[in-house]
Amino acid sequence: MRNIHTLFIALSSSLLMVSAASHAQALLNRPMLQEGKTTLYQRVLTTPTCKLFAKPGDQTGASQEAFSRFYVYQRQQNAGKNFVEVGPDTTGKKIGWLDAACTVEWKMQMSLAFTNPANRNLSLFFKDRVSIEKILDSTDPALTYAPILERMSKTGRDPLVVAREPELFVDFRKNFYLLPILKAEEVMSDGGFNVRLLEVASVSRQEPNANPAVSPQVVQSSIKAFTAGVVFVIDSTLSMDPYIERTRSVIKNIYARMEKEKLDDKVKFGLVAFRSALSAVPAIEYNTRLYADPTKVKNGADFFEKIKDLKATKISTPKFDEDPYAGVKEALEKINWNEFGGRYIVLITDAGALDSKDPLSTTGLDAQAVRELAKEKGVALYVLHLKTPAGAKNHQPAQRQYETLSFNSIANRPLYYPVNAGQVNVFGDTIATLGESLVSQIKQASVGEPVAGSALNAASPPPPTPAATPAPSTPSAAIARDAALIGHAMQLAYLGSVTGTKAPPFFKAWISDRDLVKQNIPTTEVRVLLTKAQLSDMSAAVKEIVEAANSSLVSPTAMFERLRSVAATMGRDPNQLRQGRTENLSKLVLGEYLEGLPYKSDVLGLDEEAWKSMSVAAQTQFIIRLNTKLRQYQSFNEDASSWVSLAKGSDPSESVYPVPLASLP
């Protein structure tokens, strides 16, 4: 009895302590902290059954918009039920109580976005993690997965599956939906791929009277409205005149065909020219110039009038490498791509690109960062690389740059097409094939014909995996193959935005971030939802890391000493910092909101000994990568249209930006 009595007293004391701590937290007018954290607050998401009560135990309350995020200020029990006092933000604005049973705890403020479903199987949401692991562990995943896919195709049901991804692509940028990650684990598949298994709760926001079921008739009418914008970003430096003229000639032929078939209102062409930095050679006239904006081009005659003055400069630029990233960035940022369902940039150059660290680079971006900008705009980026004899020493590094720049997750390959020896005739055939392929797709769409693999043919067998696709023998054959695939993906994205396709309704389930059969193809992208303050903190921390790393190139022992000082100035308790040499950057500078995320990072695991063991070249590359990310953070901060409020009435500072996981330090 004494033991029981002691236990009762201990439990009572614990409950009193929890209650006192909860009450003290409420008095501080700040949300409750997550267990073991010093800066991360407790958050919950509402489900469709949630009502907001004035106090715990009330019988009537106001229904809440499903899947809103609230901060938890206090927890309390009443009549055997657990209640949470909530507010829309962290400013102390408490609006009432929710029954905890109708909420979902959200510890990691992360969400998934579907990739375009072209060239892959639709994602399935499984009841448990084990079902996915069995498929990944099998020697033939396709054979294990086939019966599930067949049942889903025929009946829309399978005992292992809760739901499936919408057949039409949901554009995350235009139609924000929440697919929060509740748990994350990384496993190695039998095929040798690192696959993330994610427990999620689908929380898409349905518009009033929205009907997620889309009829073939609606799809057909939407396809007919499909238009495309094709922008050529062309090198106009010395030696490029023959290619400029051939490009002009090809576009003339395409316009003639479009006018003959009455398609001239379906495709609009644009053109941006680029050279190098004016600071080095002012006489080259410009770094970039937008000659023709496709949203403002009336017809073929208007287009050629706008580009009539385009010609190659007669003045040499400082280096063989030029500034194509500036040209691509100009096309991405100065053109309103929202007017087009199909979005294409065709980069034409005979030189490599100025690297991000080059003082003549006007963007400070590398190939991967520019590719991410294009991806965010939904633009497919093709590169026609003229391998002229004059640039023989430049061919290999330039090819590596452009393969990175043009890698497309839909095609699962770079949209890179070299023209060996820079032969003008081969170049002409290649660019003509690209133009004809794009126009052919528009012609099919204009009469309502679905292309192979569209949502109308969802039950058709999937296309062969990239490994099984024979390598095309010519650049023209390769570009025709890839243009058809990318064009279809663009049409899916457009149809999704027109018909109002939504993510599935609320549920908890497990999903793989890769196609379970073609495991080299991602099905989702992880986005970390950061507030203005968090993005600002992260940007400041990365900037301090860069500055410390730069100083460390001179004095290797100085970096971590400076970072410890930075950690203290950013509000962390310097007494809690270990003074040993193994303190990593995660603990020193980057806040708790980056801890526990399902990815590997160069920064988060870097400690003093590892840094000192790196070569100067490796340290320099490390700094270059962080500088590129800093520029991305600035771009995110300025992208006003992409900031999202997750709760009505929340302070504007609590709006979040869906930062791609790859953009984290």
pLDDT tens readout for residues 27-82: 468 899 988 888 789 999 888 778 999 999 898 988 887 778 999 999 999 988 99
Q: 354 is written with which tokens? A: 């100025």
N-term to C-term CA, the chain: 57
**pLDDT at position 232 over 90:** yes
What separation in angstroms does the CA of 292 have from each of 233, 347, 413, 469?
A: 11, 15, 29, 37
Confidence class of residue 91 from pLDDT cuts 50, 70 and 90?
confident
Answer whether 46's CB lies under 8 Å from 87's CB: no
Q: Which of 617, 580, 655 is nearest to 109 (CA)?
A: 655
Q: Percent helix, strand, coil in the chain (nearest 5)?
A: 40, 20, 40
CA distance 233 to 371: 14
Q: What single DSSP character describes residue 446?
A: H
Q: What is the mean pLDDT of residues 619-635?
A: 86
Residue 211, helix vs strand vs coil:
coil
Contact in structure between 398 and 384 (CB atoms under 8 Å): no
Q: How high is the pLDDT of residue 457?
A: 36
Pairing assessment for the beta strands 228-235 and 342-349 based on DSSP bridges: parallel
Asked if 554 contacts 649 with a C-beta cutoff of 8 angstroms, the reply is no
The continuous run of DSSP H or E covering 389 comes out as none
Alpha-helical regions (H) of 98-156: 129-137, 141-155
CA separation for the pair 355, 342 (Å, rounded): 29
Length of the chain: 665
Among 290-294, 435-439, 516-520, which range has the highest average pLDDT?
A: 290-294
CA 343 to chain centre: 17
Q: Find residue 287's DSSP bridge partners.
A: none
How far apart CA 553 and CA 235 sit, in angstroms, is: 36
Four-residue CA torsion sign, 181, 183, 189, 195: positive
* Cα dihedral: 626, 632, 634, 636 (round 10): -140
Which residue has tokens 């590169």? 383
Give yes or no for residue 576 having a pLDDT over 60: no
Phi/psi for 446 (5° steps) reads -65, -20
8 A C-beta contact, residue 341 and residue 486: no
Confidence of residue 578 (pLDDT cuts 50, 70, 90): very low
pLDDT of the residue at 471: 58
> Which of helix, strand or coil describes residue 205?
coil
Token pair 């990593």 in the structure block, residue: 584
Lowest average pLDDT, out of 185-194, 400-409, 433-442, 613-622, goes to 433-442
Cα–Cα distance between 499 and 219 in angstroms, integer? Answer: 8
Q: Are strands 228-235 and 267-274 parallel, antiparallel or unpaired?
A: parallel
As a whole-number percent, the residues of the chain with pLDDT over 70 amount to 78
Structure tokens at 582: 């193994």
CB 386 within 8 Å of CB 351:
no
Q: Rounded distance, CA 377 to CA 367, Å?
A: 16
Eight-class DSSP state of 124:
E
Residues 474-493 have pLDDT tens digits of 777 777 777 777 776 666 66
Classify residue 119 as left (phi > 0), alpha (psi -120 to 50) or beta: left
> What value does the mean pLDDT take over residues 407-423?
83
Q: What is the pLDDT of residue 515?
A: 92
d(CA 206, CA 225): 24
Q: What is the pTM of this model?
A: 0.72
Contact 567, 583 (CB under 8 A): no
Q: Which residue has the higher pLDDT, 229 or 21?
A: 229
| Helices assigned H by DSSP within 287-423 | 300-306, 324-334, 367-377, 395-406
Residue type (1 letter), 508: K
Closest-CA residue to 346 (of 426, 433, 423, 422): 433
pLDDT higher at 661 or 597: 661
* pLDDT score for 205: 44
Q: How far apart are CA 207 and CA 221, in angstroms?
A: 21
Residue 366 has pLDDT above 50, yes or no: yes
Spatial distance between the Cα atoms of 214 and 586, rounded to a whole number of angstroms: 46
105, 48 Cβ separation under 8 angstroms: no
Torsion-angle region of 448 (φ positive above 0: left; ψ -120 to 50: alpha; else: beta): left
Q: Give Dmax over CA atoms of the chain in angstroms.
A: 99
Per-residue burial over 348-380, b = 16 or more CB atoms within 10 Å of its CB, e = otherwise: bbbbbbbbbeeebbbbbbbbebbbbbbbbbbbb
Tokens encoding 519: 């495991």
Average pLDDT, the chain: 79
How is residue 456 written in tokens?
């109308």
SS3 assignment, position 194: strand
Q: Taking Cα atoms as reference points, which of 441, 432, 448 lies closest to residue 486? A: 441
CB distance 126 to 162 below 8 Å: yes
Dihedral of CA 538/104/513/524: which sign? negative
Residue 160 CB: number of other CB atoms within 10 A? Answer: 17
Closest by CA position to 275, among listed 237, 307, 243: 237
Characterize 185-219 residue by residue with b for buried, 16 or more Cβ atoms within 10 angstroms of its Cβ, and e for exposed.
eeeebebeeebbbbbbbbbbebeeeeeeebeeeeb
User: What does the CA dihedral 539, 540, 542, 545 come to, rounded to 10 degrees?
Assistant: 170
pLDDT-derived band at 83, boundaries 50, 70, 90: very high
Rounded Cα distance between 202 and 471, Å, is 39
